[in-house]
């Protein structure tokens, strides 16, 4: 997620940005019947207890856990493997209708299945492996009464409808104050942003980052609106005034990295020098590539020169009527503001595809793993653009870093009610520069490239990361990380 420095800092930096915060194939085939879906093919759930081919979902097997910062969201019992989300958005009534199939592995024996799902939505049918199941929905806690056995795979299907309500944000950020999750605009368009949680406001989910899963979407809405989601647009039709877009994400994602938006969109196709296809989805009435969104291919080129090959098959940006920027996997969600559409934010969100999306924190206490490196890379890019040494850029950030560490806590031990404050961005960014000076450019850039490559489509945490960094660099770094990430005051900088 992008984060703006406060105005005072920006003016001292002399940034030029006036910043606020931070049809594919038109074949007329009928609506996806299930037999033309790209792999991994979910098993249809219309008849009871069909076996699911686990091999399709190997990459989505996760080591689930209870979150240390937000233990009430997500549950380690469920290892989601695949979400099939067939969603219809009705702008006339602001109603969302969902047909969902969740394929999951039980990580233990249990008598019921816990999931996150908002009670603003009404469930009209729910089955496990094709059999009706009783359930209870209390607040955002969905509990399905069905026994499960450790390491067995199940299919949960549910039908639901209603007007989704965003959830209260665990954050004081101005751009969070509309809540997390599903949002509806004055024009009855819809979009989502859900870090650290909030996917549960629009589908039934294990809403904790350690649990990655594959996703397929079928999005229907009255033309001229259309639906955008993560991954690749595999089919797009308009029939009797209804637009249907199908999207397939073929590398597993954590729920906070999922995006869906319904609106009147135009699409522009671009490509990086290395051949990564890039789609920009922007308001049909405006600029096809608003702000600096057309810079996305160059952002990928620049990041590849530092970090190695882009870790996914495609990249995109969907522009929505909000204030934030979010690194939703392969389809970044950017608010329609000058800052969110600026080149530094495009670079920042693209950088997260190496740091955040392909390797994702297992626990929200380690969100510094995402934001510190995305901010450092953004700082490197800004320094290069401004013709200043990276050391000067870090000096410019240092005073502000000391203030936010004092107000919001250490980067890796922050106040849970202050999610996404500047402390998780600037301190860890300064730390990476200190590590660079300590071990030299050669070792530093080697580990920068090697970590996301070694952790492709995985989750990790501080213990594993620190151990890996020590082993790979041959340096003893435990005091260094403790001081920078858990210290109440900024360590001395060289």
Interface contacts to Zn ion, rule CB under 5 A: 1, 371, 374
Residues 6+ apart with CB under 8 A from 482: none
* CA separation for the pair 42, 154 (Å, rounded): 12
Question: Considering the complex, what minimum distance in angstroms separates the CB of residue 411 from Zn ion?
Answer: 13
Which residue's CB is nearer to Zn ion, number 199 or number 374? Answer: 374
Of the chain, the end-to-end C-alpha distance in Å amounts to 29
* CA separation for the pair 388, 368 (Å, rounded): 25
Q: In this structure, are residues 267 and 280 in contact, taking their beta carbons and an 8 Å threshold?
A: yes
Question: Considering the complex, what minimum distance in angstroms separates the CB of residue 55 from Zn ion?
Answer: 34
Which residue's CB is nearer to Zn ion, number 214 or number 256? Answer: 256
Which residue's CB is nearer to Zn ion, number 1 or number 260? Answer: 1
Which residue's CB is nearer to Zn ion, number 234 or number 328? Answer: 328
Which residue's CB is nearer to Zn ion, number 75 or number 323? Answer: 323
Residue 102 DSSP SS3: strand
Question: Considering the complex, what minimum distance in angstroms separates the CB of residue 1 from Zn ion?
Answer: 4
Beta bridge partners of 87: 98, 219
Question: Considering the complex, what minimum distance in angstroms separates the CB of residue 492 from Zn ion?
Answer: 27
| Site of tokens 């200043």 | 388
Which residue's CB is nearer to Zn ion, number 227 or number 322? Answer: 322
Q: Count of CB atoms within 10 A of residue 292's CB?
A: 19
Q: In this structure, are residues 181 and 51 in contact, taking their beta carbons and an 8 Å threshold?
A: no
Question: Considering the complex, what minimum distance in angstroms separates the CB of residue 348 from Zn ion?
Answer: 5
Question: Considering the complex, what minimum distance in angstroms separates the CB of residue 194 from Zn ion?
Answer: 14
* CA separation for the pair 390, 386 (Å, rounded): 10
Number of residues in the chain = 494
Question: Considering the complex, what minimum distance in angstroms separates the CB of residue 289 from Zn ion?
Answer: 22
Which residue's CB is nearer to Zn ion, number 135 or number 197? Answer: 197
* CA separation for the pair 214, 113 (Å, rounded): 20
Alpha helices in 58-121 (DSSP H): none
């Amino acid at each position: 997620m992008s984060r703006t420095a406060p105005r005072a800092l920006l003016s001292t930096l002399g940034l030029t940005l006036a910043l606020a915060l931070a049809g594919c194939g038109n074949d007329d085939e009928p609506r996806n019947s299930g037999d033309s879906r790209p792999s991994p093919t979910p098993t249809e759930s219309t008849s009871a207890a069909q076996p699911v081919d686990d091999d399709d979902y190997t990459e989505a097997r996760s080591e689930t856990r209870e979150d240390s910062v937000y233990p009430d969201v997500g549950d380690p019992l469920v290892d989601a493997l695949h979400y099939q989300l067939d969603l219809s958005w009705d702008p006339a009534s602001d109603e969302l209708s969902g047909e969902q199939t969740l394929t999951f592995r039980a990580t233990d024996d249990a008598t019921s299945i816990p999931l996150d799902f908002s009670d603003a939505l009404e469930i009209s049918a729910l089955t496990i492996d094709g059999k009706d199941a009783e359930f209870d929905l209390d607040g955002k806690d969905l509990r399905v009464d069905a026994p499960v056995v450790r390491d067995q795979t199940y299919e949960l299907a549910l039908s639901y409808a209603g007007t989704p309500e965003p959830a209260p944000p665990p954050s004081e950020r101005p751009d969070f104050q509309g809540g997390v999750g599903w949002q509806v605009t004055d024009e009855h368009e819809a979009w989502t942003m859900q870090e650290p949680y909030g996917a549960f406001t629009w589908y039934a989910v294990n809403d904790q980052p350690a649990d990655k899963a594959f996703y397929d979407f079928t999005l229907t809405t009255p033309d001229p609106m259309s639906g955008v989601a993560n991954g690749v647009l595999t089919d797009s039709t308009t029939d009797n005034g209804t637009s249907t877009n199908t999207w397939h994400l073929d590398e597993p994602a954590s729920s906070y990295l999922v995006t869906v938006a319904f609106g009147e969109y135009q699409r522009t196709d671009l490509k990086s020098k290395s051949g990564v296809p890039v789609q920009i989805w922007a308001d049909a009435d405006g600029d096809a590539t608003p702000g600096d969104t057309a810079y996305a291919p160059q952002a990928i080129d620049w990041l590849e020169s530092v970090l190695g090959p882009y870790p996914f098959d495609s990249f995109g940006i969907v522009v929505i009527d909000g204030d934030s920027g979010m690194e939703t996997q392969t389809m970044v969600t950017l608010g329609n503001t000058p800052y969110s559409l600026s080149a530094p934010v495009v670079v920042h969100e693209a950088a997260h595809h190496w740091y955040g999306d392909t390797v994702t924190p297992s626990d929200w206490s380690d969100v510094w793993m995402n934001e510190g490196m995305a901010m450092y890379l953004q700082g490197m890019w800004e320094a290069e653009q401004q013709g200043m040494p990276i050391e000067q850029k870090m000096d410019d950030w240092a005073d502000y870093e000391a203030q936010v560490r004092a107000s919001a806590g250490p980067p890796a031990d922050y106040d849970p009610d202050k999610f996404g404050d500047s402390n998780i961005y600037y301190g860890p960014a300064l730390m990476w520069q200190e590590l660079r000076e300590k071990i030299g450019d050669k070792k530093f850039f080697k580990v920068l490239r090697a970590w996301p490559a070694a952790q492709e489509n995985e989750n990790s945490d501080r213990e594993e990361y620190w151990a890996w960094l020590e082993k790979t660099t041959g340096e003893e770094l435990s005091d260094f990380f403790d001081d920078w990430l858990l210290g109440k005051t900024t360590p001395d900088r060289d």
